[in-house]
């Protein structure tokens, strides 16, 4: 029986992610756990996240889960969701002090920036159709442009819509790490992929049919 761990270190309600996985994989053993040995023995690992990146990193350190998470990201199918995508990059501007960025896990080259700090163009976050400023956080449905083929996109049409809730967004440095992009005033990396890692800014568990299909693809992903 395939075992799937949704990593729990006290940041947000993870039950919706687990329930969605149970729905698409009724024969799998889906668990929410912050136990290091459980994470290390799982066949597949999901790193979800809500809240702010500073607290997220602190929770990873305080619970001693960072080595187990890094090991999972190096060795088996690994899915990051929302902050679980952002934390895989080098740094985030969220909650930085005195202009300094918060150092994150650094598995991918790039930074996480507030939408209003991505572009030097002062009009970037103004909707050209209405003249109104885009609201922050970016909340609701938006399209994802698939930038390359990937098993995680199987059965999902290009430009399908997924559900987003975030004020900061990933700016990848390397094109080869990008599997999907989304525009909200500025363009950002909404899906990241390399080897056994796939990570998304949107919430597949809240994205109806296509979100469930992505989770099903993760369960069946033969890395």
Q: What is the CATH number of the domain that holds 96?
A: 3.40.50.880
pLDDT band for 93, please (50, 70, 90 cuts): very high
- Centroid of chain to Cα 114: 16
Q: Give the active site residues.
A: 82, 203, 205
Verdict on whether the full-model pTM lies above 0.75: yes
pLDDT (0 to 100) of residue 1: 87
Can you tell me the mean pLDDT for 114-127? Answer: 94
pLDDT at 90: 97
Share of the chain above pLDDT 70, in %: 97
Domain that holds residue 37: 3-220
Read off the pLDDT band of 174 (50, 70, 90).
Answer: very high
Among 61, 50, 34, which residue's Cα sits nearest to residue 206?
50
The answer to whether residue 12 scores a pLDDT higher than 90 is no
Residue 81 scores a pLDDT above 60: yes
pLDDT at 87 over 90: yes
Cα–Cα distance, 32 to 30 (Å, whole number): 7
pLDDT digits (tens, 9 = 90+) for 124-135: 999 999 999 999
Total structural domains in the chain?
A: 1
Model confidence pLDDT, tens digit, residues 98-111:
557 889 999 999 99
Neighbours of 195 (CB within 10 A): 10
Find residue 110's DSSP bridge partners.
172
């Amino acid at each position: 029986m395939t075992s799937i761990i949704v990593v729990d270190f006290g940041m947000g309600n993870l039950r919706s992610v687990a329930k969605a996985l149970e729905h698409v994989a009724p024969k799998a053993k889906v668990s929410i756990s912050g136990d290091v040995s459980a994470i290390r023995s799982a066949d597949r690992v999901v790193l979800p996240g809500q809240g702010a990146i500073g607290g997220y990193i602190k929770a990873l350190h305080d619970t001693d889960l960072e080595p187990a998470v890094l090991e999972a990201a190096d060795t088996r199918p690994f899915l990051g969701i929302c902050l679980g995508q952002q934390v895989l990059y080098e740094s985030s501007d969220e909650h930085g002090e005195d202009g300094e960025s918060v150092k994150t896990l650094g598995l991918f080259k790039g930074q996480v920036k507030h939408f209003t700090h991505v572009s030097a163009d002062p009009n970037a976050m103004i909707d050209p159709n209405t003249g109104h400023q885009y609201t922050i956080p970016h909340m609701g449905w938006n399209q994802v442009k698939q930038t390359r083929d990937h098993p995680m996109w199987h059965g999902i049409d290009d430009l399908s819509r997924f559900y987003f809730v975030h004020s900061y967004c990933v700016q990848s440095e390397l094109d080869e790490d990008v599997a999907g992009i989304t525009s909200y005033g500025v363009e950002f990396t909404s899906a990241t992929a390399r080897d056994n890692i796939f990570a998304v800014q949107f919430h597949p568990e809240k994205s109806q049919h296509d979100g469930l299909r992505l989770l099903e693809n993760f369960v069946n992903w033969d890395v």
